[in-house]
């Protein structure tokens, strides 16, 4: 016995229900696409930062190295004449 107001779904009702549920059901995850996007953003950021910082980087031999522990510098020596 069926309860009052409960009818058997026909083919058209089933199709309408499927169409409504498709609209609210989440799409299957696209992990490959998400990973590709993350890699592309990373590579673009590295490239852009390399291009922006490329003009500001000096050759290693032109930079004076400083030893912060001892206070000695590997650059030119300044003599105190006093």
Q: Nearest 5 degrees, angle CA 42-CA 44-CA 48?
A: 120
pLDDT band of 46, cuts 50, 70, 90: very high
The predicted structure's pLDDT at residue 11 = 92
And the tokens for 45?
């950021």
Q: Which two tokens stand for residue 75?
A: 């650059």
**Which run of H or of E encompasses 24?**
helix 11-24
Q: With bands split at pLDDT 50, 70 and 90, how would you rate the model's confidence at 40?
A: very high
Q: Binning pLDDT at 50, 70 and 90, where does residue 57 land?
A: low
Q: What's the predicted TM-score (pTM) here?
A: 0.37
């Amino acid at each position: 016995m069926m309860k009052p107001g409960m009818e058997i779904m026909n083919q058209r009702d089933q199709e309408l229900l499927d169409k409504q549920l498709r609209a609210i059901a989440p799409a299957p995850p696209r992990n490959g696409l998400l990973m590709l996007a993350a890699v592309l953003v990373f590579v673009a950021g590295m490239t852009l930062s390399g291009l922006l910082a490329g003009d500001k980087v000096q050759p290693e031999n032109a930079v004076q190295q400083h030893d912060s522990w001892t206070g000695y510098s590997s650059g030119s020596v300044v003599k105190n004449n006093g």
